């Protein structure tokens, strides 16, 4: 832990344990990548995958984010999962239950075609395990048009909030409902592509999908 990952506000909600950091990363779909170009900060949303203490990112070879990160500039990757709205008796104490990770590090461009394909498989399986094995994998031309980066996590911190609202004692008697409204992301009914041949079965990894 260094100054950049030191938890300053409500540190009791935080952790630097790798196991907790990885659990949150594995439950998330979307990461936001922060970096700076000539003093101008950018934060870009992107899909990702994880293996051990490495994150894998991909994008167009023409992407500003990809071109900047592959140069090895310092970067920050964050993910956030919202688990519920915490409704207190007072507006001041409203909050949310959440899990989040802030990770710092640098990225390197993966040049080897086989390694690029493996990194893309990791990203695919992070989103929906089983799809990569069934779909057509990228060909050489597609791989050439895609930049794949390996982001080495140098430091990371996790933070989360759970539980009910914490009101001031003098507000507990107010006739205002208080509690938690849980939020969760669920998979809906699969919708077949209109051009799909009739009778094509829906894969089990789709019908039974759970993140």
CB 87 within 8 A of CB 181: yes
In a domain, 208, yes or no: no
Q: Which of 155, 176, 156 shows the shortest CA–CA distance to 165?
A: 176
* Residue 80 Cα distances to 1, 89, 107, 143, 181, angstroms: 20, 25, 21, 30, 17
pLDDT, residue 21, reads 96
In a domain, 5, yes or no: no
Read off the pLDDT of residues 71-102 as tens digits, 9 standing for 90 and up.
999 999 999 999 999 999 999 999 999 999 99
In a domain, 108, yes or no: yes
Range of the domain at 64: 11-186
In a domain, 125, yes or no: yes
Distance CA 18, CA 80 (A): 16
Neighbours of 65 (CB within 10 A): 22
Read off the pLDDT of residues 96-146 as tens digits, 9 standing for 90 and up.
999 999 999 999 999 999 999 999 999 999 999 999 999 999 999 999 999
163-176 average pLDDT score: 97
HSE of 203, CA atoms in CB hemisphere, 13 A:
11
In a domain, 65, yes or no: yes
CATH number at residue 92: 2.30.110.10
In a domain, 132, yes or no: yes
In a domain, 1, yes or no: no
Distance CA 157, CA 171 (A): 34
The number of domains in the chain is 1
In a domain, 56, yes or no: yes
């Amino acid at each position: 832990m260094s100054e950049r990952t030191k938890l300053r506000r409500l540190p009791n909600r935080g952790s630097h344990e790798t196991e907790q950091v990885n659990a949150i990363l594995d439950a998330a779909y979307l990461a936001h990548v922060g970096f700076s170009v000539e003093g101008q900060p950018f934060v870009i949303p992107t899909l990702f995958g994880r293996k051990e203490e490495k994150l894998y990112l991909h994008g167009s070879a023409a992407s500003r984010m990809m071109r900047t990160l592959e140069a090895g500039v310092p970067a920050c990757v964050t993910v956030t999962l919202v688990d519920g709205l915490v409704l207190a008796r007072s507006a001041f104490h409203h909050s949310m239950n959440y899990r989040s990770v802030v990770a710092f590090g640098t990225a390197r461009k993966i040049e080897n075609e086989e390694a690029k394909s493996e990194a893309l498989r990791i990203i695919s399986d992070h989103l929906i395990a089983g799809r990569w094995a069934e779909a057509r994998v990228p060909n050489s031309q597609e791989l050439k048009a895609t930049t794949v980066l390996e982001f080495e996590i140098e430091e990371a911190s996790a933070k989360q909030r759970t539980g009910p609202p914490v009101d001031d004692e003098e507000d507990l008697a107010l006739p205002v409902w208080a509690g938690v409204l849980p939020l969760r992301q669920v998979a809906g009914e699969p919708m077949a592509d209109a051009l799909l041949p009739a009778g094509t079965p829906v894969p089990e990894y789709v019908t039974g999908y759970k993140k």
